[in-house]
Chain A
Amino acid sequence: MRFVPLAAPSATRAALVTLGSVVVALLLCALVFVLAGQSPAEVYSTMLRGTLGEAGGLAEVGRRTIPLLLIGAGLALAFRAQFFNIGAEGQLLLGAVLAAGTALFVPLPGPLLLPAMFAGGFLGGGLWALLAAGLRRLNVNEILSTLMLNYVAVALVTYLIAGPWKGKDVRGYIYTDTFVPAGWLPTLGGTQVHWPTLGLGVALALGLQWLLSRSTFGYALRVVGENPGAARYAGLSSARVATLVALLTGGLAGLAGAGEVAGIHHRLLEAGQVSLGYGFTAVIVAWLARGHPALCLVTAPLMGVILAGGDLLKIDLNLPYRVVDIFSGVILLCLIAGEVFVRHRVVWGRA
């Protein structure tokens, strides 16, 4: 079997290969369910019925789409610049921490509180990612550094809610006091869909798409990502691009964290409850979108179905929530393994 490079891979081919990869992934996941003694048909129908089949399920998908869209759009940009930020999980948490800190301890007039929380969220996530960008200048692979920073962020959240920020009326569980109502985002009637964050996500996904395809910075970013040698020759600093990309992509993850605490929880609580693995799932959102932030408007809800479906599997079929990791991992693996078929034609036999 040989791969013959195609001169110009078409968009149709890319779409077909992506679809094929996802189908293969779902078949492989079915195999894992058989090994676990579950009927794949039951697993998939439970997921679909409970997410797309009813209004309440759709709202659950929507709720999870919000952070996935924000993080995914940022990551799409980062991956185009070959900055492999895997630490969105930690950046989201730092965003949640700064947003919660603002809500709890900064005395601001009501209307200013939410904007300040989101600004804090952006800053928290952005600075956390900047740490990784700084370390990259010391030749530390950002995949490793952003991952390690995830663990540190989790410890930081635990420390805060169990220690100095521990709420007054807390028994048993650990979390902070509840925010004042001015720090709560409105939601769509009876659901947990905090629509202002959703609007922000849509606007930012489109804005980043514009930035990537139309602005000078976007051009520099694409050159640095696609041809580092040419970028150096053209005098484009890949370190500066990486720094800006880190700030943006981390900042967006931080906004997602601010949205989660302001829109759903109204307080800071354990890391595992603030994020349901959004940081990792967003990697797939960005990869499915093939580096186009705007396409995350389609791929984020798709992965939202998987996260919401994972919750249903936990409740209805008593499966551990970790099944979501299997879905994420297998889909990601199939996507990148399928990549070769986008750019190449397969020829059987020897050269």
Chain B
Amino acid sequence: MDNALLDTLPRALAVGTPLLLACLGAILNERAGVVNLGLEGVMAVGALAAFAVAASAPDANLWLAVGAALLAGAALAGLHALATVTLRANQFVSGLALALIGTGAAGLLGKRFEGLPLFNKVPDWTVGGFALSPFTLAALGLAALLAFWLAATRTGLTLRSVGENPAAADVLGVNVGLVRVLAVLGGGALAGLAGAFLALSYRSSWADNMTAGLGWIAVALVIFVGWRPLRAVAGALFFGLLYALQFRLQGVSAVPSEVWSAMPFVLVLVVLAVAGVRGQAGDAPAALGRPYVRGER
């Protein structure tokens, strides 16, 4: 059993990494009052951008590939910002459109990379006997950073005020629209980074549907962790463990494999219901999902 757990842990961390990165991105834009259901698509586009840069030049700097993923994620999220912040469109439906565009574009533009191997995969680091992806360490660092920034800095407070009470923030001279646009762009960049991890570190080849529903789980995770970055670390690890166990148990147990593949999604539903019953949905930023129009409420 000890061995099984030790074998499962690295895998749990690996699956937990993109979940954590995307979840942190979502926390960033949701704390400013904007929901982005399109993380699945943003991740896919980030993964493609990273892979395209890394694969087109075998000696390319991997920082360049990561940068491309950040930019691609922010660019796709920019469409969301334009639609929901500037044009006040329904955030939920816009996010859905984003998911379709992102996965569709990654599938179409990524076709030429299908089956190509990646030679310059990001090497793992050995920390205390464990092989860890640098992305995992970066995600943990970013969680701490985001937690500190939101709680203890002036700009972090400004962002939160825009999500809680945009009218009050507006009166105090905060440019609500600008803060929201920046938060959405930042959230998109983080989801893009989650995609970069999948393309450059987790796998070393391109395949359509690399994100495999992780983006949707990240969306639900935000609610589960009550919009708190440090809790997101625990939540991502928890879901990562479930994923890893799913792979371990698939061959061993008598339960059909489809049950295991449906499991994360059933679990998300259970988790959301539990969070709902516990009244955790009430932790949501007060203005979440609502466009801000000066003089209206």
Chain A residues engaging chain B, CB cutoff 8 angstroms? 3, 32, 35-36, 84, 86, 135, 138-141, 143-145, 147-149, 151-152, 155-156, 158-159, 162-163, 280, 283, 287, 319-320, 322-330, 332-333, 336-340
- Of the candidates B88, B256, B268, B272, which one forms a contact with A163 in the assembled complex, judged by CB atoms under 8 Å apart? B256
Report the separation of the CA atoms of residues A258 and B262 in the bound assembly, to the nearest whole angstrom.
Answer: 23
- In the complex, what residues of A have CB within 8 A of residue B256's CB? 159, 163
Interface flag for B5 (CB, 8 Å):
no
CB distance from B291 to the nearest CB of A (A): 9
Q: Are A152's CB and B262's CB within 8 A?
A: yes
Residue of B whose beta carbon sits closest to that of A323: B108
Residue of B whose beta carbon sits closest to that of A1: B86
Question: What are 5 A-B interface contacts by the 8 Å CB criterion?
Answer: A141-B92, A151-B262, A162-B258, A336-B83, A337-B82
B241-275 residues with Cβ-Cβ distance < 8 A to A are: 256, 258-259, 261-262, 265-266, 268-269, 272-273, 275
Report the separation of the CA atoms of residues A1 and B269 in the bound assembly, to the nearest whole angstrom.
Answer: 42
Asked, given contacts A143-B37, A323-B104, A329-B101, whether A151 binds B94 with beta carbons under 8 Å apart, the answer is no
Further 4 A-B residue pairs, CB within 8 A, beyond A36-B109, A144-B272, A148-B268:
A32-B105, A326-B100, A326-B101, A329-B104
- Of the candidates B89, B96, B104, which one forms a contact with A340 in the assembled complex, judged by CB atoms under 8 Å apart? B89
Interface flag for B203 (CB, 8 Å):
no
Q: Are B265's CB and A329's CB within 8 A?
A: no
CB distance from A101 to the nearest CB of B (A): 17
Chain B residues engaging chain A, CB cutoff 8 angstroms? 37, 41, 79, 82-83, 87-90, 92-94, 96-105, 107-109, 111, 208, 213, 216, 219-220, 223, 256, 258-259, 261-262, 265-266, 268-269, 272-273, 275-277, 279, 281
Report the separation of the CA atoms of residues A333 and B82 in the bound assembly, to the nearest whole angstrom.
Answer: 10
CB distance from B213 to the nearest CB of A (A): 6
Main secondary structure of the interface of B (DSSP, over half): helix
Q: Are B213's CB and A151's CB within 8 A?
A: yes
- Of the candidates A138, A163, A283, A326, which one forms a contact with B273 in the assembled complex, judged by CB atoms under 8 Å apart? A138
- In the complex, what residues of A have CB within 8 A of residue B208's CB? 320, 322
- In the complex, what residues of A have CB within 8 A of residue B98's CB? 329, 333
Q: Are B277's CB and A138's CB within 8 A?
A: yes
Q: Are A155's CB and B93's CB within 8 A?
A: no
Asked, given contacts A138-B276, A340-B89, whether A148 binds B96 with beta carbons under 8 Å apart, the answer is no
CB distance from A186 to the nearest CB of B (A): 34
Residue of A whose beta carbon sits closest to that of B109: A36
Residue of B whose beta carbon sits closest to that of A324: B104
- In the complex, what residues of A have CB within 8 A of residue B261's CB? 155
Q: Are A336's CB and B262's CB within 8 A?
A: no
Asked, given contacts A35-B109, A145-B272, A148-B268, whether A333 binds B94 with beta carbons under 8 Å apart, the answer is yes
- In the complex, what residues of B have CB within 8 A of residue A86's CB? 96
Q: Are A36's CB and B108's CB within 8 A?
A: yes
Residue of A whose beta carbon sits closest to that of B209: A322
- In the complex, what residues of A have CB within 8 A of residue B272's CB? 135, 140-141, 144-145
- In the complex, what residues of B have CB within 8 A of residue A32's CB? 105, 108-109
Most A Cβ at <10 Å: residue of B37, B41, B93: B93
Residue of B whose beta carbon sits closest to that of A138: B276
CB distance from A245 to the nearest CB of B (A): 17
- In the complex, what residues of B have CB within 8 A of residue A147's CB? 216
Report the separation of the CA atoms of residues A129 and B194 in the bound assembly, to the nearest whole angstrom.
Answer: 31
Q: Are B103's CB and A337's CB within 8 A?
A: no
Q: Are B273's CB and A140's CB within 8 A?
A: yes
Q: Are A325's CB and B93's CB within 8 A?
A: no
CB distance from B159 to the nearest CB of A (A): 22
Report the separation of the CA atoms of residues A135 and B268 in the bound assembly, to the nearest whole angstrom.
Answer: 12
- In the complex, what residues of A have CB within 8 A of residue B107's CB? 320, 322, 325
CB distance from A293 to the nearest CB of B (A): 18
Q: Are B281's CB and A139's CB within 8 A?
A: yes
- Of the candidates A141, A162, A322, which one forms a contact with B103 in the assembled complex, judged by CB atoms under 8 Å apart? A322
Report the separation of the CA atoms of residues A324 and B90 in the bound assembly, to the nearest whole angstrom.
Answer: 22
Asked, given contacts A145-B269, A326-B100, A330-B101, whether A336 binds B216 with beta carbons under 8 Å apart, the answer is no
The 8 closest A-B pairs by CB, nearest first: A325-B104, A329-B100, A322-B107, A139-B276, A329-B101, A155-B262, A326-B104, A159-B258
Report the separation of the CA atoms of residues A138 and B82 in the bound assembly, to the nearest whole angstrom.
Answer: 32
CB distance from A41 to the nearest CB of B (A): 17
CB distance from B111 to the nearest CB of A (A): 6
Q: Are A325's CB and B262's CB within 8 A?
A: no
- In the complex, what residues of B have CB within 8 A of residue A337's CB? 82-83, 87, 89, 94
Residue of B whose beta carbon sits closest to that of A160: B258
- In the complex, what residues of A have CB within 8 A of residue B88's CB? 3, 340
- In the complex, what residues of A have CB within 8 A of residue B269's CB? 135, 140, 145, 148-149
- Of the candidates B79, B100, B265, B279, which one forms a contact with A152 in the assembled complex, judged by CB atoms under 8 Å apart? B265
Most B Cβ at <10 Å: residue of A84, A147, A162, A324: A147
- In the complex, what residues of A have CB within 8 A of residue B93's CB? 84, 283, 287, 332, 336
- Of the candidates B79, B108, B223, which one forms a contact with A319 in the assembled complex, judged by CB atoms under 8 Å apart? B108
Q: Are B97's CB and A336's CB within 8 A?
A: yes
Q: Are A326's CB and B94's CB within 8 A?
A: no
